[in-house]
């Protein structure tokens, strides 16, 4: 019983941590937007107080360097995270996590259509870290990447990607962070999961552990005390 009760309390604490973290991120999102000049000189990893700050940038896409991160599911459906560098000026670019696209074929060479405006665009989003890393058993060096030739250039399918890998493979000195864009557009889904949205799972797990603890308590009470007492009363 002690173990199950402890696990229930741990799940409650995890839920509280996630809700508190989401409150901090929401407060940062309400601060004034950052622009091009505010982002110069930032180093990876980003200072904690800048994570999820809102940004507004202007530039043009370089779709020939788009990277497709495979095996990224969305609501149970397999697909890709689509990342494209946004050129801000002659010397500065940033890697943008533009959204999620579904896998449309068992053939990895068939990629879903994504609309890309080739003119100057305004991009709004939040500062984020590198894409979450998935477990991989293979070689993830630049030479191991699958390269697909397309009308707009070469789009790379990757399992994982770091900013340093992208700089080496593309030759583009992107800034030390990723931008996650807002609102569904260009054929991409952008409803990024909130940290606090998984707190409900922890609350559900806590309920299960406490329910198991209560069941063990009732069973212990029955077999250790009530049933022996009833048996003794019948025997007397």
pLDDT per residue rounded down to tens, the chain (236 residues): 888 888 888 888 888 887 877 777 777 777 888 988 888 888 877 887 888 899 999 999 999 999 999 998 888 888 999 999 999 998 899 999 999 999 887 777 788 888 899 999 999 999 988 888 887 655 544 434 444 334 344 458 998 999 999 999 999 999 989 999 976 567 788 776 665 557 788 889 888 988 999 888 888 888 888 888 778 777 76
Strands 146-150 and 67-69: unpaired
Encoded tokens for 217: 């308590």
Is 95 inside any structural domain? yes
pLDDT at 136: 64
Is 23 inside any structural domain? no
Encoded tokens for 227: 């049933």
Question: How many domains is the chain partitioned into structurally?
Answer: 1
pLDDT at 66: 94
Is 172 inside any structural domain? yes
pLDDT at 193: 62
pLDDT at 141: 46
pLDDT at 119: 94
pLDDT at 88: 94
Is 157 inside any structural domain? yes
Characterise 85 by phi-psi region: left (phi > 0), alpha (psi -120 to 50), beta (else). beta
Is 159 inside any structural domain? yes
Is 215 inside any structural domain? no
**Cα angle: 202, vertex 11, 17; to 5 degrees:** 80
Q: 102: domain range?
A: 31-192
Is 10 inside any structural domain? no
Is 152 inside any structural domain? yes
Radius of gyration of the chain (CA): 25
pLDDT at 153: 42
CA distances from 152 to 64, 65, 70, 122, 163 (A): 5, 9, 20, 21, 22
């Amino acid at each position: 019983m002690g173990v199950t009760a402890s696990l229930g309390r741990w799940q409650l604490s995890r839920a509280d941590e996630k809700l508190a973290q989401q409150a901090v991120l929401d407060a940062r999102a309400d601060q004034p937007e950052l622009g091009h000049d505010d982002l110069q000189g930032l180093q990876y990893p980003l200072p904690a107080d800048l994570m999820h700050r809102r940004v507004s940038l202007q530039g043009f896409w370089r779709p020939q360097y788009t990277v497709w991160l495979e095996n990224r599911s969305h609501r149970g459906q397999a697909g890709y995270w689509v990342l494209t560098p946004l050129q801000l000026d002659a010397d500065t670019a940033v890697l943008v996590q533009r959204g999620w696209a579904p896998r449309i074929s068992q053939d990895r060479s068939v990629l879903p259509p994504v609309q890309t405006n080739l003119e100057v665009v305004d991009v709004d989003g939040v500062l984020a870290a590198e894409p979450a890393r998935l477990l991989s058993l293979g070689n993830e060096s630049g030479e191991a990447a699958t390269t697909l030739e397309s009308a707009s250039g070469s789009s790379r399918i990757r399992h994982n990607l770091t900013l340093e890998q992208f700089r080496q493979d593309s030759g583009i000195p992107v800034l030390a962070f990723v931008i996650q864009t807002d609102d569904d557009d260009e054929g991409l889904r952008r409803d990024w999961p909130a940290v606090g949205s998984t707190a409900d799972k922890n609350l559900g797990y806590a309920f299960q552990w406490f329910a198991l603890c209560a069941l063990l308590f009732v069973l212990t009470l029955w077999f250790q005390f009530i049933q022996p007492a009833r048996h003794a009363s019948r025997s007397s």
